[in-house]
Amino acid sequence: GDSVTQMEGPVTLSEEAFLTINCTYTATGYPSLFWYVQYPGEGLQLLLKATKADDKGSNKGFEATYRKETTSFHLEKGSVQVSDSAVYFCALTDRAGGTSYGKLTFGQGTILTVHP
Amino acid sequence: GAVVSQHPSWVICKSGTSVKIECRSLDFQATTMFWYRQFPKQSLMLMATSNEGSKATYEQGVEKDKFLINHASLTLSTLTVTSAHPEDSSFYICSARQQATNYGYTFGSGTRLTVV
């Protein structure tokens, strides 16, 4: 079945450092890929997404490129802030008949802590 | 934007009692809703998928009689934890999928259940 593997955390960085969180996936067909962020005690918020190969999703300075050849969707940010401290989840959903009614498959999550 | 309201945000109950968690899509119709369980510092585990007007589809290993899911309308799904035990203590999160919108998953803010 489908699966998502994220780099293990926690990741601790100083403010303004460069961030990379690796994500690779295994899926049949052509999945759509997502990054979600979860702040303490809250649900998940969509950070960015990409629906086909070579698409780049971006939001709030974060970006990730859908790499089909390496089955990866690594999350990057050039300069992190303390407010970026959260748990980040990589996820995928399969496609069915041109629309996606599939469930989301999540990676294990990566805790990011940014210090001033 | 799409908003999903999950209520209550936290609840403490005694062993043997039942607890109902509501998930409402406030400004869109959700044909499909998902219920997840999240253990501390772990990823989200999909419990079940519910489609409006039909029975929920449970993931393997999830007890249907213990976790009752009802999706009676396009804006409301409920999860009832019956005869709760301390091991049911967890963070429960719902997600609603927007009708006629691809990949539009919106998450509730979660419910922290503590069974004492």
Question: Mutating which of A2, A37, A44, A90 best tests the B interface, going by the most B Cβ atoms within 10 A?
Answer: A44
The per-residue pLDDT for range B90-108, each reduced to its tens digit, is 999 999 987 655 557 889 9
- Token digits for A57? 């999703």
Give me the average pLDDT of each 10-residue run along chain B (116 residues).
Answer: 90 97 91 89 88 88 94 91 96 84 78 96
Q: Which residues of B91-106 are buried (b: 16+ CB within 10 A; e: fewer)?
A: bbbbbbbbeeeebbbb
Given pLDDT bands bounded at 50, 70 and 90, which one contains residue A43? confident
Cβ contacts below 8 Å, chain A against chain B, sum to 51
Residue type, position A32, single letter: S
The per-residue pLDDT for range A17-26, each reduced to its tens digit, is 999 999 999 9
Question: Mutating which of A39, A103, A106 best tests the B interface, going by the most B Cβ atoms within 10 A?
Answer: A103
* For chain A, counts of helices (H) and of strands (E): 0, 12
% chain A with pLDDT above 90: 71
A83 phi and psi, to 5 degrees? Answer: -70, -10
Rounded to whole angstroms, the Cα distance separating B62 from B56 reads 12
Given pLDDT bands bounded at 50, 70 and 90, which one contains residue A100? very low
